[in-house]
Structure 1
Amino acid sequence: MQLHELEEQMGELEIRNAELLQAMKETEKVLQKYSNLFDQAPVGGVITGRDGIIRAVNHVGTQILGGERSDLVGRRLEHFVPYSARSVFTEFFGNMLRGEQIATCEVERSGEVNRAIIHFEGVCTTAEDECRIAMIDITGRKLSPEERVKQNLRLQELSGELARANREHHQEIFRHKKWEEALNVSLSQQRKLASRIMSVREEERTAVAREIHDELGQMLAALQLNVSLMAQEYSDHAQLVARTKAMENLITSSIMTVQRISSELRPVMLDILGLADAIEWQAKEFQKRSGISCKTIILLTEKKQDRDLSTAVYRIFQEALSNVIRHSGATTVQVDLVERKGWLVLTVRDNGRGIAEQEKRDVQSLGIAGMRERAETFGGKLRICGAPQQGTALFVRIPLTGKELLYAHQDSCSR
């Protein structure tokens, strides 16, 4: 597959991800609407599992049960029923569990100052594995049979409304989970595609570097040899010798340029000797070109890592050094590359002006975005810390297993 085709697929995935995120936001609004409907109901509402453990309770329900929502959720509803009424409540709950017919009971709660009579009405559904219970404080009411019939009808209506809202709520939750799963799949595809694009680019770089080294490099070497021989053959022509020497120097410079471009496109050392030696070589080259002191500490059990992983870390390191030259004004750089409990950890510190917060968050900063993308492609993380006039530190950690481990290393931003 060609590089432009992969980039087109990446664009399509980004559009799809944006659509999925919008759909999830709309679903969250609907979920909030049903949550508000439940919470603002004029009667106490409790949703429990078939084991009687409270899963949700609305505002009126907290007032009737006499506790904060955080104290009620996760506890059995029967714990808030007086011991003297437990048998009545247990029979009521058993009737709910035995079928999908509405069960009712009345429980008297006596306090030090007053007494209350709570009317419970609820139903359990097998399909949703939960019970919905309405609670009404009927203390002091003298209800005629007709009024009680009306009250029961109203409770049934409220229970039906709550059940309908709850079903729609569950449907929205199900849709939300589907959108979330689709988004996760899409993001996974995007990461794989990004990895493939980087791999294709590296393959193209390798091919171009090989062509430059093998073809252009050899031609320049042959040309240099011929010019040198011509200078020897016409050694008695001083002006011609001077001209050929100048040509030979220019060719030598061209050969060195070709070697530099070839190594930057794809360092041979990375493929032959591995990541550790490539990092050390790049640090020395950086020091030669920039005049900035660059010290390295490398502690790896294996010099040669996975090819794609090594390429990602090496490119991140190149970009980090490039940022030091362009932005930091530093005079020294410290580079650490170590293995730590299953993680490959790269740290690049400088003593420059320090990166500003807005620079770290700048969406136009393609260098930082590219480094982060390379790290995340392999399940890793990238962090950048800085303080004014105290330098900048870049931390990259990538799992050597190719997936996140239980151990979570915390890099310190302290100098």
Structure 2
Amino acid sequence: MSSSGKHHPNLNRARLLAVLLIFFSLAGWMNQAFLSQFIVSNPLPVHTLLETVTIIIFTSVFIVCWNAFGSTRKISSVILAVAFLCTAILGFAHAISFMGMPGFDTAIDMHKSFSAWLASRAIVAATLLGLAFDPEDADISQSQSYAILLSALTGTALWAGLIFFFPHMIPLTYVEHLGQTWFKVACEVGLIGINLLSAYLFYQHASKLETSNSAEHLHINRLPLFLASLLLAVSEVYFCIYTETNDVNIVLGHLMQLMAAIAIYRSMVAVNIHTPYAQLAESSKQLELSAEELRIERERLSRMIDTAIDGIITVNEEQKIILINPAAAGIFGYEVGQLEGSSLDRLIPMRHRHAHGSHVKKFGETGVTRRKMGTHYEDFYVTGCRADGGEFPIEASIAHQLENGKRFYTVIFRDITDRKIAKEKMAAYHEELSQLSGVLQSIREEERKHIARELHDDLGQLLAALRMDLSLLQRDNQLTARNESTIQSMDQLILSAITTLRRIATDLRPRALDEGGLYFALQTLQKEFSQRHQIHCELIADEEQLILDDAQSTAIFRIVQESLTNVARHAQAETVHIEFSETETHLKFTICDDGRGIEEEDIRKTRSFGLVGMRERVKAMHGTFTVHSNTGEGTCLSIKLPRLHADHEKRMQTGEFHTMLIQQDLKH
């Protein structure tokens, strides 16, 4: 708030009042004989009335300062409110324990009363001195303000408890037949000094503000506080020099104290009441000045909405359309005038209307101001209904805001029919390719099995018979040494051919897989790999885990075989670890090596046919395939396959599975 001169009492008037106050006070102090003629015959009601009015004023200071700025308060208002509340509480304790009150008639009770009185005046003096140093103001949260209030009330309660229950721990302030002690007088002299210092500082600040018209740190008028500090200093003098409870000095001190309270109220409470309204008036004035700018901004926004290619719709809490742009109306097949004021249900398919209303209501209650919806064409509840009854998918973002207590929802959307069709086609093509890959894998395995069987059963048998004939020929005694050497060479060539034939047949289709099952085939593969490449290979598996159908056994064997081939070619590993585990629903296995690892870009390469083949095999079995690799730390393949149901296993065992895949491929 600006601190112009019109916000402060006139500086000359304040100086005149201060001079008159000091003049008459000095006259009274120097003529105690004259004042002693005025005796208050019944002082208790007078003291109680004046103290009560002061307490009420201080309580009013608390109430208004505490509530002046709502939930976000100024720290100055909080400190003032808390300080004067504590002052009012201690003032009440002083009033009820004063000499003459029922139940309080002893010297120790008077000591309690004076102790509470000194504490209350000390709080007022300290608060005014703090304001006199003109600290900068700042906002404070509601939780922080309540923490300050609770701490102050706790301290006040502890001090009051000390006064009333342990008065002997406090230096005496009153002695029977002697009156107030030097300790009390010394305290009052100290309060006089503090109040005079505060009055001087307030006067200096008020003089600068009056002449320079500069901004204030705090929402207070300095001149009333200058007078209040001066009045409090004068009242302390009167309280120092009185001798009896019926002395008129006490009444004069209370009157000065009451006038100080009124000045404090005028300075702080009046300003705290009017400041928020003054700020509101200033804001209103600024709004009036910017009305033309607001009109221009609205016109610009209206043009932007009308020319946007995306649809924009705003509805109220009753789902009535209050704004719709031409693009939105065109998407739904209407004119703008046909939809304004109508229900949003008109644009939503019948089966989705109830769910859509509950979704919007829930969205408004969550407190989230924006949400994206319909980003996948599978979100069928975000579906529009055209004027001709046709439905189409929507991608939209929704936002809500409160205006004058009413909630409004704004949706920006677009028609994603073409995107949905493209995605559906891509998904269909991907499914067909996956099925074709599965069929090709099955056909290749069948061809491999057939070729391996032909090589082993036919060509293998012929080579074995040929070797037997050579063995018989070697027994003929008529052979010369030259012929015998030739025959031995032929025998070695046939033996090499048989060994090569067996290796080729095993690579095409290991007989161990058909004769001993997957577990035996993996053991054979492990031993051959270790012997051929001098790499330690460890297999951890349970034979019962690996009793599977032919298709799964073949796929798992090929995955392990391809993995070991990659390790031998690229990994530069010393150890390979293959481990199988199972649950009721899944079979899991990992293949890990301690080689040089795979770069991330190499994993994503589409030309990494080994990894692609393994992924396709796993996908055909509806499993998951994961590659974990760090450069220099090795590679680990993790495969998780579902257990097949009994009817599926039976179908695969009888060969119906491959037939089904081929039939599906032919249909597509």
TM-score normalised by the chain length of structure 2: 0.38
Q: Which residue of 2 aligns with 1:335?
A: 578
Q: Which residue of 2 aligns with 1:392?
A: 635
Instruction: Report 1:208-247 matches (<5 A).
Output: 208-234=451-477, 237-247=480-490
Is 2:545–2:582's contact at 8 Å kept on the other side of the alignment? no
- Secondary structure at the aligned position of 1:337 is classed as strand
Q: Is 1:368 matched up with 2:642? A: no
Superimposed CA distance per residue, residues 170-202 of structure 1 (whole angstroms, 9 cap, x where no aligned partner)? xx4566555544443443332222111111111
Is 2:540–2:579's contact at 8 Å kept on the other side of the alignment? yes
Q: Which residue of 2 aligns with 1:383?
A: 626
Of residues 179, 193, 197, the one that matches 2:440 is 197
Q: How many Å apart are 1:239 and its aligned residue?
A: 2.9
Cα distance between partner residues in 1 of 2:490 and 2:366: 95
Is 1:338–1:346's contact at 8 Å kept on the other side of the alignment? yes
Instruction: Report 1:128-139 matches (<5 A).
Output: none
Of residues 311, 325, 349, the one that matches 1:37 is 311
Which structure has more RCO (C-alpha within 8 Å, separation ≥ 6)? Answer: 1
Is 1:337–1:347's contact at 8 Å kept on the other side of the alignment? yes
Is 2:314–2:323's contact at 8 Å kept on the other side of the alignment? no
Is 1:47–1:54's contact at 8 Å kept on the other side of the alignment? no
Cα distance between partner residues in 2 of 1:188 and 1:72: 29
Superimposed CA distance per residue, residues 200-246 of structure 1 (whole angstroms, 9 cap, x where no aligned partner)? 11111111111111121111111111112111214763332222222
Which has a greater percent of helix? 2
- Secondary structure at the aligned position of 1:379 is classed as coil
Q: Which residue of 2 aligns with 1:249?
A: 492
Q: Gapped runs of 5+ residues in structure 2?
A: 1-306, 316-320, 325-342, 346-352, 374-388, 393-399, 405-409, 646-668
Cα distance between partner residues in 2 of 1:292 and 1:225: 37
- 1:47–1:279 CA distance, 2 compared to 1 (3 A): farther
Q: How many Å apart are 1:291 and its aligned residue?
A: 1.3
- Secondary structure at the aligned position of 2:596 is classed as coil
Of residues 531, 546, 565, the one that matches 1:322 is 565
Q: How many Å apart are 1:57 and its aligned residue?
A: 11
Is 1:283–1:295's contact at 8 Å kept on the other side of the alignment? yes
Cα distance between partner residues in 1 of 2:483 and 2:547: 50
Q: How many Å apart are 1:398 and its aligned residue?
A: 1.4
Cα distance between partner residues in 1 of 2:401 and 2:577: 70
Q: How many residues align?
A: 283
Superimposed CA distance per residue, residues 128-175 of structure 1 (whole angstroms, 9 cap, x where no aligned partner)? 9xxxxxx99998xxxxxxxxxxxxxxxxxxxxxx99x97xx5xx4566
- 1:319–1:38 CA distance, 2 compared to 1 (3 A): same
Cα distance between partner residues in 1 of 2:612 and 2:521: 23
Which has a greater percent of strand? 1
Cα distance between partner residues in 1 of 2:604 and 2:401: 53
Cα distance between partner residues in 2 of 1:344 and 1:288: 28
Superimposed CA distance per residue, residues 329-383 of structure 1 (whole angstroms, 9 cap, x where no aligned partner)? 1111111123234222221111111222122112211111111111111111211
Identity of aligned residues (%): 31
Is 1:356–1:386's contact at 8 Å kept on the other side of the alignment? yes
Q: Gapped runs of 5+ residues in structure 1?
A: 1-32, 74-124, 129-134, 140-161, 403-415
Letter of the 2:311 counterpart: L
Q: Which residue of 1 aligns with 2:358?
A: 53
Cα distance between partner residues in 1 of 2:312 and 2:476: 100
Cα distance between partner residues in 2 of 1:277 and 1:255: 23
Instruction: Report 1:122-201 matches (<5 A).
Output: 172=415, 176-177=419-420, 179-201=422-444
- 1:178–1:251 CA distance, 2 compared to 1 (3 A): same
Cα distance between partner residues in 1 of 2:526 and 2:421: 48
Q: Which residue of 1 aligns with 2:350?
A: none
Q: Which residue of 1 aligns with 2:192?
A: none
Letter of the 1:38 counterpart: I
Q: Is 1:347 matched up with 2:587? A: no
Instruction: Report 1:69-148 matches (<5 A).
Output: 69-70=369-370
TM-score normalised by the chain length of structure 1: 0.58
